[in-house]
């Protein structure tokens, strides 16, 4: 389809040169890059303010707010994670079993001691994973695809537990963009902001459209 | 998609007579209008943000060649295959060829208006490939064998009762009741096994990130990731105007898009997809194809560059008095409402769609809510003028306006004509109002016409001037 490529680019070149409305033909890459950079200036003027001065508190407010609808727990260290997960499952009336992200920090924990049966198959059950970042502005948690981070699990589970280190919480979306700037982009970078929801029938919100019905975020440390 | 065979007037008339349709539209669009107002109210920086959003889009449109080639270079480096399509037919053919090469029997699709624009549902059917729509609304539309009536809520025209009927007759897992949560649960069970058995997943893209070669999808359901992760092949179809320089620019536009579309602050799932599965990755597709589609966009850049700013939020239709009365199907095109009435003449030709720019009261509401400041009413007026200049308006309209112009350019004749008209109209007045009058049935069928005063404005003006003289 080289023909189509050439003809589209040629057509764009022609309309730039004729100086059609809104075009600035013949500008060099450096100038374009400088103009693009300037469009990111003064982010404070064009983004929402956080609900509080504390980044972690702001994250919790947003994540618990009606728009995200997640539940949030805070624990001092990873050792208490299995007991926290078990308590949540018991309160929600769910079975004490879950699938976990195959990552050392979760595999090292004693889940059996908390009465949790660790399973391999996920379908509609509980899944626990560790997020790379949290974003206070939106109450989002971020996961990147990797050898120890299957993407599908986050979308097939019924109850999603996300573990988030307090020191990994960023204030704004731009801070996440800055944090990954220059890194090799992962196959998937998912910003998860609540459980799977739909308003497709009469605009009425229902949780558990295809993926998780509930999102429970557990913030570790910084207490 | 081509404009249907029946006229816009006929479709609008039948839509107006459909009380169920009105209920369905009011429930969703009314909800969206309220939620958007709240979300914008909670974001005092919204106006500054939309000016910035507009500048980002204008910058990209002005430098589109640069960003397309940069995106292509980075996407190829990530392992993606990049295809280019001049027309909808070319785009569909590329997608079908990839599906055939993958020996695909079943394809899952995550809602994409560009996919609708290039006729992908039809092309898949013609190729004998099973198509599974995974967005709940698109799933409803597919079961009903219809087309989307809104770009964010494709099934806006359906009431919950109608959805219940469809699910009861076509799902394996029947809904427990007509309640909306039970309907959603029934679709969840029905679609889940189909996600895992698909050979190819097709998505659109809300943004193409030039400096990484990634594409961005946003959904609240999570159906995009379920569509693109399990199959061996992921195909993205995207319009060439979807580019942004970097992730930071995408975030600025996402703040505007989500608030304007649904009144949320951020979509539940905002995912950046970059290339196929890496050797070490736990999951993901082995092939990742991106089809960059022109289909009139290079032409639009010359003639309607402002329209290329559109980020497909649907706020203009939610706030349009015409859309709210007739719904999306009456427009007979892929894109309904104000933005659709500007786009359809580009995509389908002005001759076929000249009625659409007239379906507008020019109340300016669409421009007021547009998150990237597209002057939609001016663009619609532009099409009206062009239709007139190209002689596309029907003979009766041309004769009527020609006759009016003849009289209006001759003040003496105009004053005489209005004086006669006023006298004639007063013959039909009953208690200050006109309930019926020849040639005014279109007005008086639904409301009375206030009777004009005895004297025309000009007569009264002259009389007062004379009286005021010393």
The bridge status of strand A206-207 relative to strand A169-170 is: unpaired
Residues B295 and B407 in one domain: no
Q: Please report whether residue A2 resides in a domain.
A: no
Whether residue B90 is contained in a domain is answered as yes
Contact A190, B270 (CB under 8 A): yes
Which residues, listed in sequence order, are joined to residue B209 by a DSSP beta bridge? B214, B244
Look at chain A and report how many structural domains it folds into: 1
- In this prediction, residue B469 carries a pLDDT of 53
Please state at what angle helix B64-77 crosses helix A2-17, rounded to 10 degrees: 150
In this prediction, residue A25 carries a pLDDT of 47
- Residue A23, pLDDT > 50, answer no
* Predicted local distance difference test score (pLDDT) of residue B439: 85
Indicate whether A17 belongs to any domain.
Answer: no
Q: Taking a contact as any Cβ pair under 8 Å apart, which residues of chain B between 41 and 60 contact chain A?
A: 42-43, 45, 48-49, 52, 55-56, 58-59
Neighboring chain A residues of B187 at a CB cutoff of 8 Å: 209
In a domain, A41, yes or no: no
Which chain B positions have a beta carbon within 8 Å of A61's beta carbon? none
Q: Does any domain span residue B209?
A: yes
In a domain, B104, yes or no: yes
Residue of B362, B357, B331 lying closest to B342 (CA atoms): B357
Residues B277, B422, single domain; the answer is no
Q: Which of B257, B277, B299 is the last residue of a domain?
A: B299
Name the minimum distance, in Å, from the CA of A78 to any CA of chain B.
24
Residue A158 counted as domain residue: yes
Residues of B in contact with A140 (CB under 8 A): 266, 270
Q: Which of A148, A188, A198 sits opposite B136 (nearest CB)?
A: A198
Residue A206 with chain B: CB contacts under 8 Å:
180-181, 184
> Does residue B411 share a domain with residue B267?
no
Of B27, B188, B299, which is closest to A209 when you measure between CB atoms? B188
The CA-based diameter of chain A, rounded to the nearest angstrom, is 73
Residues in chain A: 223
- In terms of residue numbers, what domain contains A131? 50-220
CB atoms within 10 A of CB B432: 9
Contacts of B222 in chain A (CB under 8 A): 155, 196, 209-212
Chain B's closest residue to A198, CA to CA, is: B221
Q: Cα(B271)–Cα(A143) distance, rounded to whole angstroms?
A: 10
Mark which residues 294-313 of B lie under 8 Å from A by CB. Answer: 294, 298-299, 301-303, 305-306
Q: How far apart are CA B47 and CA B51, in angstroms?
A: 6
Query: Is there a contact between A12 and B301 if contact means CB atoms under 8 Å apart?
Result: yes
Low-confidence stretches of chain B (pLDDT < 70) are 1-5, 468-470
**CB distance B221–A155 less than 8 Å?**
no
Judge: A193–B282 Cβ closer than 8 Å, yes or no. no
Is A23 within a domain?
no
Distance, CA of A68 to CA of A58 (rounded, Å): 13
Number of domains chain B contains? 2
Q: Evaluate whether B335 touches B343 at the Cβ level (below 8 Å).
A: yes
What is the SS3 assignment for B295-320? CCHHHHHHHCHHHHHCCCCCHHHHCC
- Nearest chain B residue to A18 by CA distance is B302
Last residue of a domain, one of B250, B274, B299: B299
Measure CA A146 to chain center: 15
Q: How far apart are CA B404 and CA B383, in angstroms?
A: 21
CATH of the domain at A215: 3.40.50.10420
Q: Do residue B204 and residue B59 come from a single domain?
A: yes
Q: How far is B358 from chain A (nearest CA, A)?
A: 25
**Which of A14, A134, A209, A212 to probe by mutation at the B interface, max B CB count within 10 Å?**
A209
Is the CB of B229 less than 8 angstroms away from the CB of A188? Answer: yes
CATH number of the domain that residue B182 is part of: 3.40.50.10420
Interface touch B155/A195, C-beta < 8 Å: no
Question: Cβ contacts (< 8 Å) between B188 and chain A: which residues?
Answer: 208-210
Tokens for B317, please give them.
Answer: 């239709």
- Residue B334 falls inside a structural domain: no
In a domain, A201, yes or no: yes
Test mutation, A24, A43, A199, chain B, max B CBs within 10 A: A199
Above 70 in pLDDT, residue A20?
no
State the CB neighbour count (10 A cutoff) for residue A104.
9
Q: How many A×B Cβ pairs under 8 Å?
A: 270
Residues from chain A that touch B229, judged by Cβ atoms under 8 A, are: 151-152, 155, 188
Phi, psi dihedrals of residue A8, rounded to the nearest 5°: -70, -45
Distance between B441 CA and the closest CA of chain A, angstroms: 35
Task: Give the chain B residue nearest A135 (alpha carbons).
Answer: B266
Quick check: is B313 in a domain? no
Inter-chain touch B62–A23, beta carbons under 8 Å: yes
Contacts of B141 in chain A (CB under 8 A): none
Domain around B446? 400-468
Q: Torsion-angle region of residue A93: left (phi > 0), alpha (psi -120 to 50) or beta?
A: left
Checking if the pLDDT of A89 tops 60, the result is yes
Q: Is residue A161 part of a domain?
A: yes
Cβ atoms within 10 Å of B448's Cβ, excluding its own: 15
Q: Which of B63, B273, B303 sits opposite A32 (nearest CB)?
A: B63
Residue B326 within a domain: no
- Across the interface, of B213, B226, B273, the residue whose CB is closest to A155 is B226
Beta-carbon separation of A102 and B282 below 8 A: yes
Pairwise CB contact (< 8 Å): B94 & A185? no
Q: A185 and B265 in contact by Cβ < 8 A?
A: no
Answer yes or no: do B298 and A24 touch at CB < 8 A. no
pTM of the model: 0.93
Whether residue B268 and residue A146 make contact (CB cut-off 8 A), yes or no, is: no
- Subunit contact A11:B294, Cβ cutoff 8 A: yes
pLDDT > 50? residue A56: yes
CA B384 to chain centre: 19
The larger pLDDT score, comparing residue A32 to residue A27, is at A32
Question: Which residue in A has a C-alpha nearest to residue B190's C-alpha?
Answer: A210
Residue B79 CB burial class (10 angstroms; 0-12, 13-18, ≥19): middle
A120, A100 Cβ separation under 8 angstroms: no
Assigned domain for A25 exists: no
**Residue A123 vs residue B230, higher pLDDT:** B230
Final residue belonging to a domain, choices B281, B299, B317: B299
Number of other CB atoms surrounding residue B13 within 10 Å: 13
């Amino acid at each position: 389809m080289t023909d189509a490529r050439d003809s589209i680019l040629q057509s764009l070149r022609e309309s730039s040169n004729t100086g059609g409305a809104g075009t600035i033909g013949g500008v060099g890459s450096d100038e374009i890059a400088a103009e693009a950079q300037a469009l990111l200036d003064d982010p404070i003027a064009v983004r929402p303010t956080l609900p509080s001065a504390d980044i972690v508190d702001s994250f919790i407010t947003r994540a618990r707010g009606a728009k995200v609808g997640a539940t949030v727990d805070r624990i001092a260290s990873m050792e208490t994670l299995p007991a926290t997960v078990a308590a949540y499952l018991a309160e929600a009336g769910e079975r004490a079993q879950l699938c976990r992200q195959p990552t050392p920090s979760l595999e090292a924990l004693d889940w059996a001691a908390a009465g949790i049966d660790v399973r391999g198959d996920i379908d509609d059950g509980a899944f626990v994973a560790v997020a790379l970042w949290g974003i206070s502005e939106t109450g989002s948690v971020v996961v990147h695809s990797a050898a120890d981070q299957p993407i599908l699990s986050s979308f097939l589970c019924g109850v999603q537990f996300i573990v988030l280190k307090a020191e990994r919480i960023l204030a704004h979306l731009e801070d996440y963009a800055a944090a990954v700037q220059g890194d090799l982009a992962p196959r998937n970078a998912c910003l998860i902001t609540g459980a799977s929801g739909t308003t497709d029938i009469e605009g009425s919100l229902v949780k558990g459209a295809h993926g998780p019905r509930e999102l429970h975020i557990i913030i570790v440390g910084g207490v | 998609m081509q404009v249907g065979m029946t006229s816009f007037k006929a479709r609008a008339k039948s839509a107006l007579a459909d009380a169920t349709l009105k209920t369905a539209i009011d429930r969703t669009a009314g909800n969206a209008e309220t939620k958007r107002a709240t979300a914008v109210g909670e974001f005092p920086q919204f106006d500054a943000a939309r000016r910035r959003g507009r500048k980002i889009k204008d910058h990209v449109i002005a430098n589109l060649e640069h960003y397309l080639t940069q995106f292509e270079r980075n996407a190829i480096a990530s392992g993606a295959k990049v295809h280019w399509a001049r027309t909808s037919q070319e785009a569909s053919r590329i997608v079908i060829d990839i599906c055939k090469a993958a020996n695909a029997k079943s394809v899952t699709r995550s809602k994409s208006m560009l996919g609708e624009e290039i006729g992908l549902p039809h092309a898949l059917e013609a190729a004998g490939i099973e198509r599974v729509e995974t967005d709940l609304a698109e799933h409803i539309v597919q079961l009903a064998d219809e087309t989307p009536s809104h770009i964010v809520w494709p099934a806006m025209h359906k009431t919950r009762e109608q959805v219940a009927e469809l699910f009861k007759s076509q799902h394996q897992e029947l809904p427990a009741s007509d309640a909306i949560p039970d309907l959603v649960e029934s679709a969840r069970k029905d679609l889940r096994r189909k996600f895992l058995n698909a050979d190819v997943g097709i998505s659109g893209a809300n943004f193409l990130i030039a400096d990484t070669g990634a594409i961005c999808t946003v959904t609240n359901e999570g159906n995009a990731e379920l569509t693109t992760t399990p199959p061996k092949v992921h195909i993205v179809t995207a319009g060439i105007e979807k580019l942004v320089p970097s992730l930071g620019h995408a975030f600025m536009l996402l703040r505007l898009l989500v608030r304007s579309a649904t009144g949320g602050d951020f979509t539940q799932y905002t995912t950046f997809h970059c290339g196929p599965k890496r050797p070490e990755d736990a999951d993901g597709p082995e092939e990742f194809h991106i089809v960059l589609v022109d289909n009139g966009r290079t032409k639009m850049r010359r003639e309607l560059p402002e329209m290329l700013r559109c980020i497909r939020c649907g706020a203009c239709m939610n706030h349009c008095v015409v859309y709210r009365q007739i719904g999306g199907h009456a427009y007979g095109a892929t894109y309904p409402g104000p933005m659709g009435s500007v786009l359809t003449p580009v995509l389908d030709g002005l001759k076929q769609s000249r009625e659409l720019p007239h379906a507008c009261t020019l109340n300016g509401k669409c421009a007021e809510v547009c998150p990237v400041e597209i002057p939609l009413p001016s663009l619609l007026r532009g099409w009206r003028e062009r239709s007139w200049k190209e002689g596309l308006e029907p003979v009766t309209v041309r004769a009527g306006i020609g006759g009016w112009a003849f009289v209006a350019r001759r003040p003496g004749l105009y004053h005489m004509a209005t004086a006669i008209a006023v006298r004639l109209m007063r013959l039909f007045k009953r208690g200050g109002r006109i309930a019926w009058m020849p040639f005014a049935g279109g007005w008086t069928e639904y409301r009375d016409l206030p009777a004009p005063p005895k004297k025309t404005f000009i007569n009264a003006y002259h009389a007062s001037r004379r009286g005021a003289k010393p």
